[in-house]
Amino acid sequence: MRKMSWAFLRDLLSGVNKYSTGIGRIWVAVVFLFRLLVYLAAAENIWKHEHDEFECNIKQPGCENVCFDHFFPVSHIRLWALQLIMVSTPSLLVVFHVAYRENREKRHNQKLYKNTRKTDGGLLCTYLISLILKTGLEIFFLVLFYKLYNGFKIPRLVKCDIKPCPNTVDCYISKPTEKMIFLYFLVATSCLCIILNLSELSYLLFKYSIKCYLKRHMKNKQGSKAIAVNQNSS
């Protein structure tokens, strides 16, 4: 089931790549190569037995479980997986919009768009909304990571005094350096994706503004020519 989910995400990213700008294709490459493949190939195995490898210097029943739940309310790797799925989901809006255009042409049995996959008109709005959603979700998950784990760090030792622990106990986290490296990598790739999304958003808005300005300029020019012709003929 998990393999099917990641295969669906891979197919989704490949599909969106067809409608993306150059910057959008870089975003797809970053998500696929530096996030999805890294998650599947390495990060998942590092956090695989994190609960079993979390040790406290006391054998009080329930103490380790309570301390682990307190310091790690959600597993880093599960939150990372959720982030990957959520930031990729807005791309479905673009895929659905293109499918709507194609089905509309089939239903009316005529050419309604110059190119059903060209990002203009309503599809451009959908694409911009998807970029805003992706950026918002990236920022939300970064803030969530920071709040849940009290910063972007993996301590080697945590002190726990939560019941049923009889006193303050020392708890040790397995592979903290390795986990820290992957956590920094996660934050860096998230920030890179935010920059790419904002760059693409700015590029599309700038391109649309220039297009509107030129269109308005041409209309004014044609209007001036028409007035001049009328004046000369009169």
Which residues are bridge partners to 170 per DSSP? Answer: 159
- Ramachandran class of 86: left when φ > 0, alpha when ψ lies in -120 to 50, beta otherwise: alpha
Q: What span, in angstroms and rounded, lies between the C-alpha atoms of 132 and 167?
A: 48
Phi, psi dihedral angles at 55 (to 5 degrees): -125, 140
- Higher-scoring residue by pLDDT: 136, 52: 136
Superfamily (CATH) of domain 22-216: Gap junction channel protein cysteine-rich domain (1.20.1440.80)
The confidence score (pLDDT) of residue 107 equals 79
- pLDDT at residue 4 above 50? no
Residue 13 pLDDT grade (very low, low, confident, very high; cuts 50, 70, 90): low
- pLDDT at residue 184 above 50? yes
Which residues are bridge partners to 80 per DSSP? Answer: none
Q: What span, in angstroms and rounded, lies between the C-alpha atoms of 3 and 81?
A: 13
pLDDT in tens, 190-216: 999 999 999 999 998 898 888 877 777
Give the H/E segment covering residue 140: helix 121-148
Percentage of the chain beyond pLDDT 70 is 81
Q: What span, in angstroms and rounded, lies between the C-alpha atoms of 44 and 80?
A: 10
Residue 135 pLDDT grade (very low, low, confident, very high; cuts 50, 70, 90): very high
- How far CA 66 is from CA of 70, 110, 116, 145, 155, in Å, comes to 6, 64, 55, 20, 17
pLDDT in tens, 169-182: 888 888 888 888 88
Domain boundaries along the sequence of the chain: 22-216
Mean pLDDT for 185-189 is 89
Mean pLDDT for 34-46 is 77
Highest mean pLDDT among 37-46, 110-119, 184-193: 184-193
Q: What span, in angstroms and rounded, lies between the C-alpha atoms of 26 and 216?
A: 33
